[in-house]
């Protein structure tokens, strides 16, 4: 049977020792978000994930969602778990207190997202989409829409969806065909079919609020002619409670490789009543509010699934007896040594450990900057933090979901044949992890976003938000001999990243295909350098922590050893990536389509 324990010690280390989370309580509106308060909230969240959500993960996967006559029934235990989730206030962590929310930092919710996804990826899909719907309505809704929908979404009484994709178009939203016809009362009749709608229909909440992209009759072609509409499953009555059923129905649910306990729906809108959110033909801007939140959430899905896979692989490697260590018998009292003594198993376990701990630190740094951008002490600070979040969002989404799947696959490899059978539960992690590389913009699209939009934005202003931070760290610590073995490889890889940035900018101005051809390798370089930066910061924090608390020697020394592993075994991938992207686009474009 698989196991999961929330990594609270590591989370505390990142928040307190690496990031200095106490700084959040100095921001306007976050005065109560002290480190102790955040710690106690996270501890309670860990109990929910370990004791309520995780026990439903395997059974939910085996049972899946059931569809009949337009209704979806979630697996046994899910409705009760969702009730417990809402009663605990977990759906309202970051929501505006004006609409019933706790008003806590986004950082707290980010920690919860990792733990929820590690405990039960499928369950996390239901409240996860609601957060994006909440944020879009909070930013672009009318006062009446906010008053009606936000308290219900914050409480979890109603859930939300994102209805973008149609059968003929996914990423290319300019091809959307769903239509919106204006009615005499200010509402619109929405007609069309949307596919791959997560949590589009279920039995967890009393109402479902669909945010739908559609075209008005006189809309321009392409993405400039898309509007956003709020379309509830049940039309609210005068008291704001669910009333008459709207003309939106679930036509079917998908039979998927993974996340089987999450309902992925085909939604049919047959003249459904909806209301415009924001300005006509400006729906893409509002939808990006949801998509950016969703992309950061998906990054945490990659991390969460990697963490639970890592934990189980480590447990198994300590217990599974196979052969003797190549250097001689390590456990003479046993018939064979546990496989954790073998170098190749250690390579996989250390790769998992280096990724999960480094990605956690990087994710929480980005989340903390998101909080700073929302509650800025001054405009310059807000802009800098916002730039950093915008730049790192595609990097986190792509890298952490790529690695989430890789770590799940490595966990199966550690288990050997036992990892391939259902009983151990490890193969589910690989099946669940795979979707995160695809939805909310495939990882290739994230790379194009980084190169095509983020690199040149503000004449490189976004890039500078990262480059200056890394450069300052290297300068501040270059004279420290104890860090030389970490800073030297980091400095070399950082220089390669800067060189790659200039190369892509130069080539891309002449030929856009050059930038597109380099995008995936460039994003991976970017992620590796960012991870190296975080590992160097963690090594500094670990040394200071060891001096202050020698009793935790094992914990802090493990950080230093893992940091060295990352620099020596994982960061060198930047060399290969640089060589690959430097080779140009011709080796990708030369082969004619008919020759593939």
Q: Which residues are catalytic?
A: 440
Which residues make beta-bridge pairs with 163? Answer: 212
| Residue 517 and residue 589 in contact, taking contact as beta carbons nearer than 8 Å | yes
Structure tokens at 435: 């979707």
What token pair was written down for 188? 């619109």
H or E, element range at 161:
strand 158-163
Nearest-angstrom CA–CA distance, 215 and 568: 52
Tell me if residue 169 falls in helix, strand or coil.
strand
Distance CA 359, CA 363 (A): 6
How many Cα atoms sit within 13 Å of 403 on the Cβ side?
29
Three-state SS string over 326-370 comes to CCCCCCCCCCCCEHHHCHHHHHHHHHHHHHHHHHHHHHHHHHHHH
DSSP state of 458: G
| Nearest C-alpha neighbor of 78 from the set 114, 22, 124 | 124
CA 296 remoteness from chain centre = 4
Q: What is the DSSP string of 210-254?
A: EEEEEB-TTPPSGGGG-EEEEEESEEE-TTSSEEEEPSEEEEEE-
Burial class (CB in 10 A: 0-12, 13-18, 19+), 102: buried
Residue 402 token pair: 């790529």
Q: How many Å apart are CA 109 and CA 136, to the nearest integer?
A: 17
403-428 as b/e: b if 16+ CB within 10 A:
bbbbbbbbbbebbeeebeeeebbbbb
Cα end-to-end span (Å), the chain: 44
- DSSP one-letter string for 489-536: HHHHHHHHHHHHHHHHHHHHHH-HHHHHHHHHHHHHHHHHHHHHHHHH
Instruction: Say which residue the tokens 């109402």 belong to.
Output: 207
Strand duo 248-253 + 179-182: pairing: unpaired
């Amino acid at each position: 049977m698989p196991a999961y324990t929330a990594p609270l010690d590591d989370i505390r280390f990142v928040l307190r020792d690496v990031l200095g989370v106490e700084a959040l309580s100095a921001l306007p509106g976050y005065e109560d978000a002290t480190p102790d308060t955040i710690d106690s909230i996270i501890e309670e969240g860990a109990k929910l994930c370990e004791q309520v959500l995780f026990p439903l993960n395997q059974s939910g996967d085996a049972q899946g969602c059931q569809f009949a006559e337009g209704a979806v029934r979630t697996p046994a235990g899910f409705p009760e778990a969702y009730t417990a989730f809402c009663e605990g206030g977990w759906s309202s962590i970051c929501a505006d207190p004006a609409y019933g929310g706790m008003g806590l930092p986004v950082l707290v919710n980010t920690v919860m997202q990792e733990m929820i996804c590690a405990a039960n990826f499928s369950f996390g899909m239901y409240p996860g989409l609601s957060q994006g719907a909440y944020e879009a309505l909070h930013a672009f809704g009318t006062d009446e829409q906010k008053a009606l929908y936000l308290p219900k979404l914050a409480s979890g009484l109603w859930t939300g969806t994102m209805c973008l994709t149609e059968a003929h178009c996914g990423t290319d939203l300019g091809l959307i065909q769903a239509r919106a016809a204006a009615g005499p009362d200010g509402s619109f009749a929405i007609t069309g079919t949307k596919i791959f709608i997560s949590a589009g229909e279920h039995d967890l909440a009393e109402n479902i609020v669909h945010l739908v992209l559609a075209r008005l009759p006189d809309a321009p072609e392409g993405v400039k002619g898309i509007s956003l509409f709020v379309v509830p499953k049940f039309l609210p009555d005068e008291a704001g409670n669910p009333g008459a059923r709207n003309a939106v129905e679930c036509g079917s649910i998908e039979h998927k490789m993974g996340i089987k306990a999450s309902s992925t729906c085909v939604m049919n809108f047959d003249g459904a009543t909806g209301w415009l959110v924001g300005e006509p033909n400006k729906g893409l801007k509002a939808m990006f509010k949801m998509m950016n939140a969703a992309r950061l959430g998906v990054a945490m899905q990659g991390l969460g699934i990697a963490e639970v896979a890592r934990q189980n692989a480590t447990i198994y490697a300590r217990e599974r007896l196979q052969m003797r260590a190549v250097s001689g018998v390590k456990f003479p009292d046993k018939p064979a040594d546990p496989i954790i003594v073998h170098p190749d198993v250690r390579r996989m376990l250390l790769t998992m450990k280096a990724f999960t701990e480094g990605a956690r630190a990087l994710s929480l740094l980005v989340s903390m900057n998101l909080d700073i951008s929302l509650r800025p002490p001054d405009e310059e600070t807000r802009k800098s933090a916002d730039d950093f979040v915008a730049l790192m969002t595609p990097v986190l989404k792509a890298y952490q979901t790529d690695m989430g799947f890789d770590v799940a696959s490595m966990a199966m490899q550690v288990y050997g044949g036992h990892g391939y059978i259902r009983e151990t539960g490890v193969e589910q992690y690989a099946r669940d992890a795979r979707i995160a590389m695809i939805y909310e913009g495939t990882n290739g699209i994230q790379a194009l976003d980084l190169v095509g939009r983020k690199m040149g934005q503000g004449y490189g202003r976004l890039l500078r938000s990262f480059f200056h931070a890394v450069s300052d760290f290297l300068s501040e610590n270059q004279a420290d001999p104890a860090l030389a073995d970490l800073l030297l490889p980091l400095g070399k890889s950082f220089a390669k990243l800067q060189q790659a940035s200039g190369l892509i900018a130069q080539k891309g101005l002449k030929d856009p295909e050059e930038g597109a051809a380099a995008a995936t390798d460039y994003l991976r370089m970017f992620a590796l350098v960012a991870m190296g930066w975080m590992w160097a910061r963690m090594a500094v924090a670990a040394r200071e922590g060891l001096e202050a608390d020698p009793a935790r020697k094992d914990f802090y020394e493990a950080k230093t050893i893992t940091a060295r592993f990352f620099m020596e075994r994982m960061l060198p991938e930047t060399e290969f990536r640089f060589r690959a992207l430097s080779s140009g686009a011709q080796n990708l474009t030369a082969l004619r389509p008919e020759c593939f």
